[in-house]
Amino acid sequence: MNTKLLVAICCFAGSWLVQDVKADEAPVSKDALFDIEPAKESAGKPVSKANDGLPASKDDLFALEPKDGKETETGVAKRDDLAGSRDALLADADMPLLKIKEEAPPPSWRGFMQTELAYSYSDPEHWSKMMGRLELGKSGGFSQGMRWKISGRINYNLVYDLTDYYSKAVRDDQRAELELRETYLDFTTGALDWRVGRQHVVWGEMVGLFFADVVSAKDLREFVLPDFQTLRIPQWAARAEYFSDDFHAELIWIPLPSYDRIGKPGAEFYPYPPTPPGVTAAFASESKPGIGLDNTNYGARFSKLINGWDVAGFYYRSTDSMATFYRDIVAGPTFVYRPRHDRIWQTGGTLAKDMGPFVLKGEVIYTDGRKYSVTDITDPDGVAVQDTVDWVLGFDFNLASDTRINTQLFQRIYLDHNPHIIPEQHENGASLLINHKFGRGWEAEALLISSLNRTDWLLRPRLGWAFQPNWKLSLGADVFHGPPTGLFGQFNGRDRIYAELRHDF
């Protein structure tokens, strides 16, 4: 254990070797879950050159984002500005494309480096993460008013070299990663603003819920615990936007979709499907759709500011980024599961309104064609189509300049409910986030997300210290409780404490 602790200390110390450079004023996403959604500019106004709605599904449920809308993909900002102004809280989750200027500033490198340690204290105790992460991005402009951005990230998890707790497949999948992040070209043709390339498209309005965030793919290899910069996966897309006074229209086409990453069986947060007692489960490789027009994604979103109400509606046709576990039964008995992605379509709307004492936000989404695992062993493929309606209502209170409370109620309704799926026909839940800033860079928060159908919850206390400009140390815990079939209870033995040291530049 002494050797492991020494390695952990070295990981932290390595972050201090980077020279401190003053960052731009652009706060970063908070937690994996309840950071605040990026703010939207009023219709007809451009956004900053940062990413579109980056900052933080469970099916499509939880994850959070900064409400101030200033976060960037390269994390060029402090992470301690959680609440933001009331205008920021009302801002839309996805920001319009960058307006083109004839003369662009010279390109500059920005990014962040981060050390993350996590120790799972449930039996058997073990180190689950000793991660080093570096992200760099650069943006600039051409003549004729065109602009560009390129960014990338490298991760290395030392825990897979120092322990043999995980299988070889898991170690190979999660040890090291070099990834292209937001990389795109911005330009204008007539009345349309275009963004073409690898980018984030965020349509949700809520604090930490993925209901209307239908375009984003997610890295779920740590469930929804990382911050949104880590959780979200950019899409290769062409996007056109139109602005007229308080009206905003957006069209997207994704020829090469990204899909949720769930890892390999044996990983800390692998989403195992329900399997009857006494049955052996085996897992085949994930089946992803091939390249072709039939497997491309497309959609449209329209929003308007009406008497202080920010309302939007959307339609999205896609190959589901979330995998469904199809099942074959072979001798043994053995269930052989294969993750697959099906075609679905979704439509819905969002709203936001400053009510004075609080900010009200809401979403409703209809999903057609998604499949869910069933417990009926006579079912030939182990899945059933279940169309659903999701709604969520959120209330954001700024009690003082240093205290913020957010609470949300949500429900998923399974239309024509199949009795052999795990969820009930009406799945209800609630969340509560309390955040307080103490001064001198100290900040504390606690997040509770719970089912209202059963005892199934996630608790996330966290303490942060911004001890110098652009530096932040965070300490926290992730505590799961519930039955094995629960959204959170499935990870009942994955409780952990963690520490993070981050430097933005």
Q: Where are the beta strands (DSSP E) in 172-296?
A: 176-180, 183-189, 192-199, 217-218, 221-224, 232-233, 235-244, 247-256, 280-283
Alpha-carbon span 60 to 45, nearest angstrom: 29
- Residue 184 CB coordination number (10 Å): 26
Quick check: 140 and 104 in contact, CB under 8 A? yes
Q: Convert the pLDDT of each residue in 19-59 to its tens digit.
A: 343 334 334 443 433 343 443 443 334 433 334 433 334 44
Q: Among 420, 435, 314, 301, which Cα is nearest to 371's?
A: 420
Query: Residue 356 — left, alpha, or beta (φ > 0 → left; ψ -120 to 50 → alpha)?
Result: left
Q: Convert the pLDDT of each residue in 404-455 to its tens digit.
A: 999 999 999 999 999 999 999 999 999 999 999 999 999 999 999 999 999 9
Calculate the alpha carbon distances from 403 to 108, 143, 439 in Å.
Answer: 35, 46, 11
Tokens of 482: 């519930």
Nearest 5°: the CA angle 346, 350, 352 is 170
Determine the pLDDT at residue 211.
Answer: 87
The answer for residues whose C-beta is within 8 angstroms of residue 352's C-beta and 6 or more apart is 90, 91, 92, 205, 309, 310, 359, 360, 361, 362
Question: Would you give the distance in Å from CA 488 to the centre of its chain?
Answer: 17
Alpha-carbon span 268 to 273, nearest angstrom: 15
Q: Convert the pLDDT of each residue in 369-390 to its tens digit.
A: 999 999 999 999 999 999 999 9
Q: What is the set of domains in the chain, with CATH numbers?
A: 2-504 (2.40.160.10)
Determine the pLDDT at residue 98.
Answer: 46
Which of 13-27, 107-121, 275-289, 299-313 has the lowest average pLDDT? 13-27
Q: Convert the pLDDT of each residue in 325-373 to its tens digit.
A: 999 999 878 999 999 999 999 999 999 999 999 999 999 999 999 999 9
Alpha-carbon span 13 to 333, nearest angstrom: 51
DSSP secondary structure letters along 438-499: EETTEEEEEEEEEESSSS-EEEEEEEEEEEETTEEEEEEEEEEES-TTSTTGGGTT--EEEE
Looking at the predicted structure, is the pLDDT value of residue 254 above 80?
Answer: yes
Torsions phi, psi for 143 (to 5 deg): -70, 170
- Residue 456 CB coordination number (10 Å): 21
- Tokens 């064609």 correspond to what residue? 369
DSSP secondary structure letters along 79-110: S---S--HHHHHS-SSPPPBPP-SSPPPPEEE
- Tokens 């057609």 correspond to what residue? 368
Q: Per-residue pLDDT averaged across 235-243, rounded?
A: 98
Looking at the predicted structure, is the pLDDT value of residue 461 above 70?
Answer: yes
Q: What is the dihedral of CA 229, 58, 289, 279, to 10 degrees?
A: 130
Alpha-carbon span 281 to 226, nearest angstrom: 28
Q: Name the band, by pLDDT with cuts 50, 70 and 90, for residue 105.
A: low
Determine the pLDDT at residue 362.
Answer: 96
Per-chain mean pLDDT for the chain? 84
The answer for residues whose C-beta is within 8 angstroms of residue 355's C-beta and 6 or more apart is none
**3-class DSSP state of 345:** strand
**How much is the CA Rg of the chain, to the nearest whole Å?**
22
Alpha-carbon span 208 to 393, nearest angstrom: 12
